[in-house]
Amino acid sequence: MADSWTFAVARNDLARTTLVGAATPGISDGEALLRVDRVGLTANNVTYAVLGDSMRYWEFFPPERHGLDRQWGLPPLWGFAEVTASKVAGVEPGQRVYGYLPPAGHLVVRPDRVDGYGFRDASAHRADLPSPYNAYRSTVGDPAYRADQEDLLVLFRPLFFTSFMLADQVADNDFYGARSLVLSSASSKTAYAAAYELHGRAPRLVGLTSPGNLSFTRSLGCYDEVLSYDDVDSLDDVATVYLDLSGAPATRAALRGHLGDRLVRDIAVGLTNQIPNADAAEEVFFAPVQMRKRRQDWDRDGLDERFTDAWQRFAQVVSGWLDVRPGNGPAALRDSWRDVLAGRTPPRVGHVVQF
């Protein structure tokens, strides 16, 4: 029986999957081996696959390194892994890290810039990919880490970081002079985390969602108003910023038709229904860009401190908004992928898979 495994999806048909056994990889000098332990699966991971070519997400975990050809892609996951072997000083077996992981049993990394925070993977194929995705944070040196929050961290930390940076960028620009902020896909984790950050210090917050998610989204209490997509025409006719997390062309068209030049900003923030929205929007939000700005403004420790404070506030409330759906083993990961891809996961549910 194989002692490791790899899950992959067809790059031209994300519903077609494969789950194969593999041998545990060996390591060379300068490398370490991570055993993937616990991951979360959300619509964010589907986004990585949808944008796998255009945003280079497929390049983080090349399929040939896992014994597969390039018709397959490994959608990146966020989660925890354990160092099981290392030939790098300062990276020790038993060390637990949080970071960007493949849907596979193991990952070989080439640790660089090793310090009390963790390390970066300096593997050649990742050298010119966005650096935030190459960081592996040691749980020992991570002020945001709490062992009893691992499920929340694997489900929300990357989303919340995007939400935190999005809210920060909007506030940093004085809300672009708007009197209303409209967020689509308002029941999604990224949207309501951003709304939570903005609520009470921003202009009026309006969430747009599908009729079936109205009750859940209103129950969160982080929007001033929640409307169905069918009710865009009832939005106040005031200067408005649109934060588009759904990528639905019909919603954008309805907003533009209703608001005209009162739509002062139209910003794409990813997608949850697999329709790329970057081309149609006026601009695209990319969290690492704002992160780099704030590292210059606040330095690394200052950014960590602000993020940790925001995360701990959010973690106290989000546990009441979430039902963790646990799974065990690679087959559970495959089943969770299919559920999320097909839109069968209710907004209250978060998939966490342990290996």
In the chain, the percentage of residues whose pLDDT exceeds 90 is 85
Tokens of 256: 């533009």
* pLDDT tens digits along 3-48: 899 999 999 999 999 999 989 999 999 999 999 999 999 988 998 9
CA separation for the pair 162, 132 (Å, rounded): 12
* pLDDT tens digits along 89-140: 999 999 999 999 999 999 999 999 999 999 999 999 999 998 889 999 999 9
**270 has pLDDT over 70:** no
**276 has pLDDT over 60:** no
Beta bridge partners of 108: 33
How does residue 248 score in pLDDT terms, banded at 50, 70 and 90?
confident
Residue 10: the pLDDT is 98
CA separation for the pair 93, 27 (Å, rounded): 13
**Could you identify the residue written with the tokens 């408005």?**
240
Question: Whole-number mean pLDDT of the chain?
Answer: 93
**1 has pLDDT over 50:** no
Helices 150-172 and 287-318: crossing angle, nearest 10°? 130
Residue 251: the pLDDT is 93
Regarding beta strands 283-284 and 225-228, do their DSSP bridges make them parallel or antiparallel, or are they unpaired? unpaired
**DSSP, residue by residue, 39-106:** EEE-HHHHHHHHTTTTS-GGGGS-GGGGT--TTEE---EEEEEEEEEE-STT--TT-EEEEEE-SBSE
Domains and CATH numbers, the chain: 4-142+325-354 (3.90.180.10), 157-288 (3.40.50.720)
Residue 2: the pLDDT is 60
Helix (H) or strand (E) holding 136: strand 135-138
CA separation for the pair 60, 107 (Å, rounded): 11
- Per-residue three-class SS string for 280-305: CCCEECCHHHHHHHHHHHHHHHHHHH
**277 has pLDDT over 70:** no
**DSSP, residue by residue, 214-243:** HHHHHHH---SEEEEGGGGGGS-SS-EEEE
CA separation for the pair 177, 196 (Å, rounded): 20
CA separation for the pair 271, 269 (Å, rounded): 7
* pLDDT tens digits along 62-84: 999 999 999 999 999 999 999 99
